[in-house]
Amino acid sequence: MRVVRPIAAALLLLTCLWLFDARAILDRLVELEIGWLFAAVAALLAQTVLMALRWRLVARCLGTEMGRTWALREYLAGQLANATLPGGVLGDAARAARAREGAAGLRGAAMAVAIERGLGQAGLGAVAATGLAATMLWPGGFDPPAPLAATIAAVFAAAALLLVAGARTGRGARILRFCVPSLPVGMAQAALSLGAAALNVAAFAAAARATGTTLDPGAAVVLIPVILTAMLVPLTVGGWGWREGAAAALFPLAGATPAAGVAAGVAFGTAILLSVLPFAALALSYRPAGRVRPILDASAPKGAE
């Protein structure tokens, strides 16, 4: 799979170029506006800060204290691994492994990472559902096709039902009780998740603008979360290929061409790499000692703030 995934990414990108007018795509990339590209990079960096804070909060609720600086460094290193290595989850596995000393072993650290990633997807779904509701309540802008609207609504409703059903089980109730011990903590987690999702959407919209496509706000809020969800398919590296294909399929709904979608996807992938490559050195250092500790262990060294 280490060989298959990079090859799959390359084949999918080449297929997009072949199907959706390679010259038009390359012209957009050649004329890319650097200012908008770096706006996307800035949004992605701000998103990473919020995600690191969300991870720190979840880990704290599960019994592990970690410093803000350490959590941010580890999250950036994890983002680098996810963006450049096959599978898209190796960075998350590394975060769990490096935080295991302060949690209830590796299992507790892995649970914190899994819950944090789940909150991220929930935030993205909430943004899409909110945008969909806004287009229905205030028509006149983006008008999503009925099949797409029904699919987004059905997926969001199914996810909500699964969450409620899971919370009603004994294990789910215990996890919920630990992760949301109070209303302020739940509100903080919701705010961090929605903020991170909004920044992710803004970053893709900025990448599209960098390649000459200005998306209607309603179209951006509804379509971009769906495009970003395509990156979860673990068959390539960093979502390359799937993201561009999804953008090519959905951009015409916003009045843009498939070529514009592919170019926007490539620009967004470039912005991701630019936001994580300066931190490559973080992935080469292993420094768990003194950075993660059990909350109730008063004798443990304090986490770096």
Give a yes or no: residue 303 inside a domain: no
- Are 76 and 284 in contact, with CB atoms under 8 Å apart? no
Give a yes or no: residue 67 inside a domain: yes
Short-list 135, 122, 232, 229, CA closest to 179 = 122
How many residues would you count in the chain? 305
Question: pTM for the whole thing?
Answer: 0.85
Give a yes or no: residue 97 inside a domain: yes
Q: Using 50, 70 and 90 to split pLDDT, how confident is the model at 296?
A: very low
Give a yes or no: residue 11 inside a domain: no
Give a yes or no: residue 298 inside a domain: no
Short-list 210, 207, 212, 247, CA closest to 226 = 247
Give a yes or no: residue 65 inside a domain: yes
- Largest Cα span, the chain: 63
Give a yes or no: residue 2 inside a domain: no
- Are 266 and 29 in contact, with CB atoms under 8 Å apart? yes
3-state secondary structure 19-56: HCCHHHHHHHHHCCCHHHHHHHHHHHHHHHHHHHHHHH
- Are 62 and 177 in contact, with CB atoms under 8 Å apart? no
Min mean pLDDT across 52-61, 66-75, 222-231, 282-291 is at: 282-291
Structure tokens at 32: 């890319």
Give a yes or no: residue 123 inside a domain: yes
* Residue 130 one-letter amino acid: T
Number of domains forming the structure of the chain: 1
69-80 residues labelled b (16+ CB within 10 A) or e (exposed): ebbbbbbbbbbb
- CA dist 91 and 81 (Å) reads 5
Phi and psi for 62 in degrees, rounded to 5? -90, 5
Phi and psi for 179 in degrees, rounded to 5? -75, -30
Each residue's pLDDT tens digit, 154-195: 877 777 777 766 666 666 666 777 777 778 888 999 999 999
234: containing domain = 21-285
Query: Which of the two residues, 6 and 289, has the higher pLDDT score?
Result: 6
- CA dist 260 and 208 (Å) reads 8
Min mean pLDDT across 21-25, 183-187, 296-300 is at: 296-300
- Are 126 and 193 in contact, with CB atoms under 8 Å apart? yes
Each residue's pLDDT tens digit, 37-76: 999 999 999 999 999 999 999 888 887 788 888 888 888 8
